[in-house]
């Protein structure tokens, strides 16, 4: 991607780094130090990461303040705790939202741009037509909570120079899909977030 212009254009390329699984921690932190991961992304020829995140990471204060260690403990992922403690000791006891920020910072320190990619509302595997995260009005897709989450995430990363964009919602899907609701919410939010 070329960040010198208004439009994203292919140069080196982009990859995806996932956060939306139940632990709400960027994948790989139990295997390698975050800077090794970030540098590895750059050395493979990528210059941008689509960093996925669930809405509740910024709208649910209890979740956002949960530490990485506690998140893994709650899921009985003891091996992951040991791995993060070994490879990323500065992250293991951070609140989840601060761990997310640390990943973004590491990517920036390694000259990798970030597109904040709102993938889902509730943490979990994406995507099916019946996961409750697919379209406005689904069980876990409250439009007001979605707008609040986008607003909070945009504010949190306002001025962070390697954050070059934010998707409004990835992979809208499911039986409730319709053009009128899509237009009502997506265009409204796009205009609001770009003003």
* pLDDT tens-digit series, residues 42-95: 999 999 999 999 999 999 999 999 999 999 999 999 999 999 999 999 999 999
What is the spatial distance between Cα 29 and Cα 94, in angstroms, rounded to a whole number?
A: 13
- Give the pLDDT score at 101: 98
Say what the pLDDT of residue 13 is.
Answer: 56
**How much is the mean pLDDT over the chain?**
87
Residue 103 pLDDT class (50, 70, 90 cuts): very high
Give dist(CA 107, CA 96) in Å, integer.
17
Query: Coil, strand or helix: which one is 139?
Result: coil
Q: What is the structure's pLDDT at 193?
A: 65
Q: 6 falls in which pLDDT band (50, 70, 90)?
A: very low
The predicted pLDDT at position 110 comes to 97
Residue 14: per-residue pLDDT: 52
Q: Which domains does the chain have, with CATH numbers?
A: 14-193 (3.20.20.80)
pLDDT in tens, 112-162: 999 999 988 988 877 778 888 888 888 988 999 999 999 999 999 999 999
The pLDDT, as a whole number, for residue 79 is 95
User: What pLDDT digit, counting tens, does each position of 167-187 carry?
Assistant: 988 888 888 888 888 888 887
Residues 6+ apart with CB under 8 A from 34: 26, 88, 91, 102, 103, 106
């Amino acid at each position: 991607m070329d960040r010198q212009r208004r439009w994203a254009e292919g140069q080196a390329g982009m990859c995806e780094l996932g956060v939306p699984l139940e632990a709400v921690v960027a994948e790989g932190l139990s295997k390698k130090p975050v800077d090794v991961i970030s540098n590895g992304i750059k050395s493979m020829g990528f210059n941008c990461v689509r960093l996925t995140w669930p809405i509740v990471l910024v709208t649910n204060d209890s979740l956002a303040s949960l530490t990485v260690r506690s998140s893994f403990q709650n899921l009985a992922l003891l091996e992951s705790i040991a791995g993060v403690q070994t490879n990323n000791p500065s992250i293991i006891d951070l609140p989840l939202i601060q761990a997310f920020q640390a990943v973004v910072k590491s990517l920036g320190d390694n000259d990798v741009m970030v597109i904040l990619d709102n993938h889902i509302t509730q943490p979990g595997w994406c995507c099916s037509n019946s996961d409750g995260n697919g379209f406005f009005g689904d069980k876990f897709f409250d439009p007001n909570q979605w707008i609040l989450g986008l607003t909070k995430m945009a504010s949190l990363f306002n001025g962070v120079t390697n954050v070059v964009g934010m998707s409004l919602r990835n992979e809208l899907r499911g039986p409730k899909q319709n053009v009128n609701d899509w237009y009502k919410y997506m265009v409204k939010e796009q205009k609001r977030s770009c003003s």
